[in-house]
Chain A
Amino acid sequence: MKADTSELPRAAEKTVTLNVNGQTTRVTAMPDTPLLLILRNDLHLNGPKYGCGLGECGACTVIIDGVAARSCVFPLAGAQGRQITTLEGIGTRNRPHPVQQAFIDEQAAQCGYCINGMIMTAKALLDRNPHPTETQIRNELSANLCRCGTHLEILSAVMRAARHQPSPDSVQ
């Protein structure tokens, strides 16, 4: 009962070279395919999540060329030649990134579906501004939706991560 899919047309697809988490990969897909689906389905990454497909909720956030990006509205064609970092690329269970560690320490997840976007957006913020105020953190996360109501733990986590950033004096 296997479907015969061997002769299906693939005319509209293109091959694109991606640099994800420091590794180079070539993928073939329709150029307007959301980067999110490529990361999940071709690269088997779990971090970025499908939440809305409209850039509204932030669950799909990755970092592209150092800036937080909504991978659900970022077409594959636009990703060529850019440095893409996902949640998996910043740390692991055994060697978590300081922001991941802060989220673990503050227990900043209930269902945790949004946590990827929270961590990646927070990381991009702290890379840019290592010592944000609480208001700046709230604004930065204003378009990252959490339905479980974990906001307070998430804020604590980002502030904890900020405390562990190098102090302004030690930054050259």
Chain B
Amino acid sequence: MTQTLPTRDELLAQNGVLLIVDDILPPSGPVAKGGTPTVRPMELGLFIAIDQNSRVYAFNGHVDLGTGIRTSLTQIVAEELDLQMDQVTMILGDTERAPNQGATIASATLQISAIPLRNAAAEARRYLLQQAGQHWAVGVDSLVIESGVIKAQDGRELTFGQLLVDQRVELRISGNAPLKRLEDYKLVGQGAARVDIPGKATGELTYVHDMRLPDMLHGRVVRPPYAGYDTGDFVGTSLLEVDESSIAHIPGIVRVVVIRDFVGIVAMREEQAAKAARELKVTWKPWRHQLPDMSNIEQAIRDNPSIQRVVLDQGNVDDALAQASERMTRTYLWPYQIHGSIGPSCGLADYSEEGIRVWSGTQNPHMLRADLAWLLEYPEERIDIIRMEAAGCYGRNCADDVCADAVLLSRAVGRPVRVQLTREQEHAWEPKGTAQLMEVDGGLNADGGIAGYDFSTRYPSNNSPTLALLLTGRVEPVATMFEMGDRTSIPPYDIEHMRVTIHDMAPIVRASWMRGVSALPNTFAHESYIDELAFAAGVDPIEYRLRYLHDERAAELVRATAARADWTPRTQPMQIPEEDGVLRGRGFAYARYIHSKFPGCGAAWAAWVADVAIDKHTGDVSVTRVVIGHDAGMMVNPAGVQHQIHGNVIQSTSRVLKERVTFEESTVASKEWGGYPILTFPEVPKVDVLMMPRQAEPPMGAGESASVPSAAAIANAVYDATGIRFRELPITAERILAALNGAGVESNSHPPQSPKARRSKWLFGSLFAAFGALLGMAATALPWRAEIAPITPPAAGTWSSATLERGRLLAAVGDCAVCHTAPTGASNAGGLAMQTPFGTLYSSNITPDPETGIGNWSYPAFERAMRDGISRDGKHLYPAFPYTAFRNIEDADMQALYAYLMSQTPVNQLQPVNDMRFPFNVRPLMAGWNALYLRNGEVQTQPQQSAQWNRGQYLVNGLGHCAACHSPRDLLGAEKGGTSFLAGGTVDGWEAPALNSLSKAPTPWTEDQLFNYLSTGYSDAHGVAAGPMGPVVSELAKLPKSDVRAIAVYLAALNEPVSGSADARPATEARLAERPSVSPQSLSNGQRVFEGSCQGCHADGLGPKLFGVSPSLATNTNVHSTLPDNLIKVIQQGIDKPATADLGYMPGFKDSLSNTQISDLAAYLRSRFAPNEPQWTGLPEKVAHLKANLGTH
């Protein structure tokens, strides 16, 4: 463990040691615009220490953020000293050990920070060989080192340690010790297994989260309500009162610590601290008076004060643009995004007057130490930051904040305190990757050349002081301006007339550097724009770039990447034939990440070819494959570089397609993964990496570069697929669909050619032109969302034999099999050819095979198909299918029919492709269904009143007093009788559904389902008993099974279809006509929340198998109810006490999702899973009301 390692001072004081040191000037932290760097005194940095036991310690001030630099740095040291990897102890970042080399930023560890370490290792090697040579009186050139043992030609051997016994040698890095020659490398340049993975894969102590001290207490903080703001006069001044009595009931509370707006709790146990933090009553002053309007990010950025800085002005841009033959001004907007470390930040502090130790996952240990010294007014040299690994961060997350929190709490209680931030705190408060606004004014000359390029960018970042400094008032919460928006602000193209302007500005919400700092958004603009110029000029976009790309190394990369991807030149979009409503496209982008203070220095070069697929009907977009070329110079660990490239491709694809911080009332609303979904396994593209062989060149940072072309490459591919340019991220289904519906795929205005011209080409030549492009495109399955979610086929025995018999008869009456069975085929497996005047149509497979039949159709999907002629996946069925007649089928009959069809033996048989197009009519085939109308008005037989029925009636109406909840009450609170008896009621805010009309549930309740539900609390056709019904089921478990059966018999009998069907559902059109509209934004937001928060457990068979039941929402009673109450209450409160033990648990989301998010989620669930029901009204008010009135269940 790290604390057993010697410190720098211990090693410096030790005997029997070789020390390689250097005087270093600690780098300043980020410097505000116009400010001067804080000059710190020179320090003695220790880089290598070898002791007389041959232990080799190597030190680097940068830390491993999950990128594998610990492994690469170990390779470098082991290489120079001819050691095995495991003979080197690599120490990163600890302030008492490692040299202060500044923050781990800009992917600069191997490019910059590793250089002194390598020189130090060479220095040590030179010294050790000299000593051995003298010892044996032989020439140094005759000696070799193998695995840390120096060997003479005559076979004599000395270990490093033997040369150091009782010596104390301290050498400075001279810089002239010979480095090993490239051709002698054994380790560097070879793929090396990461040294940290075995421990991580087996649960060894690795992360700061795992660090424990004896006597350690647990802390939590309560953050102010101004989520995500760290500037403004309300910061640090808004606390009114903390009521400690509000947590008096919680055991183990040690101390509540309040310093201005800093509020923390220390408890004996972690869950006690967590509960107390949730329940502590804290009152804040009003503070919203001066927030920017974050509902319009572009305007918020424009309104943010800025200072203009022109970093390039060549030629005469204004004159050149005035003479352009085609002027194009474009605006690009990048959203706020989060780093989203999978583990919320954690820190452990042990405060005493003598010294402070802090175990931290910080990105910049030495800066943190200075912050803590300032916070505590404590001598910096007595603070020891011990750097441990943490969940990956891709810039500044809350790792420093939490350490400051921990040290304040430890100081208050005099014991070590571990503080764990919550997911919600990390999301809300981490310094965001900032939004950014880019504008380009440019255009073409008549010859298709670039007339001029006038680029400006606004980057509202980059400070984010450690939060406790602001909350306690140690640092004033003033907005500070930094010069960080200039990374890759100059495009890589040699354009004669070009101007680049940076509008430096302070952050708006708390923001700091995030992977690809400002270069990624700037490149989104550059590379989208040049793509647009190329198409406007009628030139292939890669060829067009190469005309202006005069960095030969870059051009070589571009050509190699294009070749690897089988790029086919193109001058027009939409050349790949549409297939099943899927539009495909391919886009290119290139960039080099230029980082650090302007003009900066370049990291690796990268080029992308991205393939996308878009569902024309839903707008769903997938990146199916990425070919990426990458030139990082010499790669210390090529396997590590490839891993970084993969990570960059996947993460940036996620950022481009999905990621956007949402704000409500100007504060951060994305507080968990539903409010901020990221790319998941089914959505991950195939990635083909081309690494340029450049082992003779200096190493270039590879931690960020591969991300930089991402957004433009994907946006260009979307343009290729649709003809529409997207200049605002993320490129979501909602935005694509809106654009497709608005502009129309065929009528996009941006390409210069007319739609007519494009169409004629489509007809006559496009198939051949696109063939090559298709070859290069992976046939990756698309994660389409169906219009109605697929379900797992219902288990055998879902329906009663009576229902099945009824369904069988109905199917017979309806003659299903007549059309749905091929002459020699299995019954209902489809494939019957039906000749029509317009061609041949084949009937579909209506056996419950999930792949080729209707096995994954929920009842609502089936019903919609029958009544409205819409297939489960949202496609229109051909009108040969007589849905116009079917829509009159009574619900009970429809349900029985569904039950019967779903209970058949599944047959896996794909229907032949229809040999005809739309439209047609086949009246003669529809005749057989007319008989179904006759089912209306059917006379029902009264159920036999058996002994079991009577026992059930007695239990329900007597002992069970079901009516207490399940009957409505009159004004005096009495249960209503007569027709209202068991007609449904409300209890504790929960809807108790009607028991006399259970068959109105989306899937009809059967006696067996009732029995199962009442026995276990769960029916896969209806859902889970929640709220007050949970305990009821728990109680029922005490009854003999025969009594539960009797209840089921009685309730089932109540629901036999009633003669006359007076309350039959209105026709679908009428019901849908009543549907209040829900905005696409709400549904889109609800879908985000569903996918991030809910889908893991409610994936209808397409997700993981997790403990307990995974209820389908497609059949869930609550989703189909007239009232949204039960659904909302379950979302808010979860199910922490299930009716029976094996059901599993559901967390409540009331503290994690906003009211708006829950309201949008409910609307989305209703829309997706109960499409035949009218949308609920007044959802936002209902959600707010139920949150304010949680009740007792």
Contacts and interface: CB of A to CB of B under 8 A. Distances in A.
Decide whether A and B assemble into one complex.
yes
Contacts of A146: 342
A150 B1102 CA distance: 21
How many chain B residues sit at the interface, stated as a range, is 35 or more
B758 interface: no
A110 B414 contact: no
A11 interface: yes
Nearest to A10: B251
Given A41-B269, A140-B1105, A151-B650, A55 B343 contact: no
A3 B413 contact: yes
A11 B751 CA distance: 73
A68 B254 contact: no
A46 B389 CA distance: 13
Contacts of B196: 109, 112
Contacts of B639: 107
Interface string B202-213: 111111011010
B682 interface: yes
Interface in A5-50: 5, 8-13, 29-30, 32-34, 37, 40-41, 44-47, 49-50
Contacts of A137: 681
Nearest to A2: B414
B362 to A, nearest CB: 14
Q: Chain B interface mostly helix, strand, loop or mixed?
A: loop
Interface in B185-208: 193-194, 196-207
A100 B202 CA distance: 7
Contacts of A47: 202-203
B1092 A29 contact: no
A37 B180 CA distance: 50
B684 A151 contact: yes
B177 interface: no
B651 interface: yes
B1096 A113 contact: no
B1104 A3 contact: no
Given A50-B420, A93-B204, A151-B684, A145 B1106 contact: no
A100 B1106 CA distance: 20
A152 B684 contact: yes
B674 A56 contact: yes
Contacts of A142: 680-682, 1095-1096, 1099, 1102-1104
B876 interface: no
Contact of A29 (B65, B204, B269, B340): B269
A162 interface: no
Interface string B1084-1098: 000000001101110
B205 to A, nearest CB: 6
Contacts of A135: 682, 781
Nearest to A129: B1105
Interface residues of A, number: 88
Contact of A51 (B270, B342, B1096, B1145): B342
A1 interface: yes
A149 B647 contact: yes
Nearest to A95: B202
A145 B673 contact: yes
Contact of B1103 (A2, A57, A75, A139): A139
A8 B252 contact: yes
Given A8-B252, A50-B209, A51-B343, A149 B648 contact: yes
B1097 A55 contact: yes
A8 B646 contact: no
Given A103-B197, A151-B650, A5 B268 contact: yes
A3 B680 contact: no
A69 to B, nearest CB: 4
Contact of B1096 (A50, A93, A143, A151): A143
Nearest to B253: A8
B977 interface: no
B271 interface: yes
A91 B1103 CA distance: 26
Interface stretch (B431-439, B824-832, B1022-1030, B1146-1154): B1146-1154
Nearest to B645: A149
A113 B392 contact: yes
A144 B343 contact: no
A145 B1092 CA distance: 10
Nearest to A34: B271
Contacts of A40: 210, 270
B446 interface: no
B682 A46 contact: no
Contacts, number: 273
Contacts of A29: 269, 271
Contact of A30 (B271, B1106, B1147): B271
A47 B202 CA distance: 7
Contacts of A70: 1106-1107
Interface in A117-159: 119, 121, 124-125, 128, 135, 137-153, 155
Interface in B1139-1193: 1141, 1144-1147, 1149, 1152
A10 to B, nearest CB: 5
B1071 interface: no
Contacts of A113: 66, 207, 341-343, 390-392
B197 A73 contact: no
A45 B268 CA distance: 18
A55 B1146 CA distance: 8
Nearest to A45: B203
Contacts of A86: 203
Contacts of A50: 209, 343-344, 420
A149 to B, nearest CB: 3
Contact of A96 (B201, B342, B1097, B1106): B201
Contact of A78 (B194, B253, B1103, B1141): B1141
A49 B201 CA distance: 12
A93 B519 CA distance: 41
Contact of B342 (A33, A46, A59, A125): A59
A57 B1104 CA distance: 12
A91 B684 CA distance: 29
Contacts of A54: 423, 672-673, 1093, 1147, 1149, 1152
A139 B275 CA distance: 34
Given A54-B1149, A65-B1107, A111-B389, A149 B1102 contact: no
A116 B391 CA distance: 12
B1147 A53 contact: yes
B1145 A75 contact: yes
A124 to B, nearest CB: 7
A86 B392 CA distance: 22
Contacts of A51: 342-344, 423
Given A68-B1104, A75-B1136, A142-B680, A87 B202 contact: yes
Contacts of B1106: 67-70
B617 interface: no
Given A30-B272, A107-B197, A110-B68, A149 B651 contact: yes
A3 B1099 contact: no
A46 B1141 contact: no
A153 B646 CA distance: 9
A152 B687 contact: yes
Nearest to A152: B646
A139 B1103 CA distance: 5
A120 B679 CA distance: 20
9 contacts: A2-B415, A5-B252, A73-B1134, A78-B1145, A86-B203, A100-B201, A135-B781, A139-B682, A141-B1104
Given A3-B254, A135-B682, A147-B394, 10 more contacts: A37-B271, A46-B204, A46-B206, A53-B423, A69-B1144, A100-B202, A110-B643, A111-B341, A113-B390, A142-B1096
Interface of A: 1-3, 5, 8-13, 29-30, 32-34, 37, 40-41, 44-47, 49-59, 64-65, 67-70, 72-75, 78, 86-88, 91-93, 96, 100, 103-104, 107-116, 119, 121, 124-125, 128, 135, 137-153, 155
7 smallest CB-CB distances across A and B, nearest first, come from: A111-B66, A143-B1096, A111-B392, A149-B650, A1-B414, A149-B647, A47-B203
